[in-house]
Amino acid sequence: MPDFAAVKSLVQREYEYQAQLNAEDATFQSLLANYKVRVTAKDVPEELRTAMAGR
């Protein structure tokens, strides 16, 4: 196990990054819950088309 001081900055950056991703996802989910989204681009990946089909 590495010394905490040796990994502290890495752990802090990763924690902040994950917190930012979670906040962005929560905002996106909130918007999706309150608005109807229609994707009209021709090059949308099939995975996204499938995920959005039920909304």
d(CA 6, CA 37): 45
What pTM did the predictor assign?
A: 0.62
Location of structure tokens 């890495």 = 10
Domain ranges for the chain: 4-53
> What ranges in 35-54 are assigned the alpha helix state H?
46-53
d(CA 18, CA 54): 28
Please answer whether residues 24 and 1 qualify as being in contact, where contact means their C-beta atoms are separated by less than 8 angstroms: no
pLDDT, tens digit (0-9, with 9 covering 90-100), for 1-55: 889 999 999 999 999 999 999 999 999 999 989 998 777 888 988 888 787 776 6
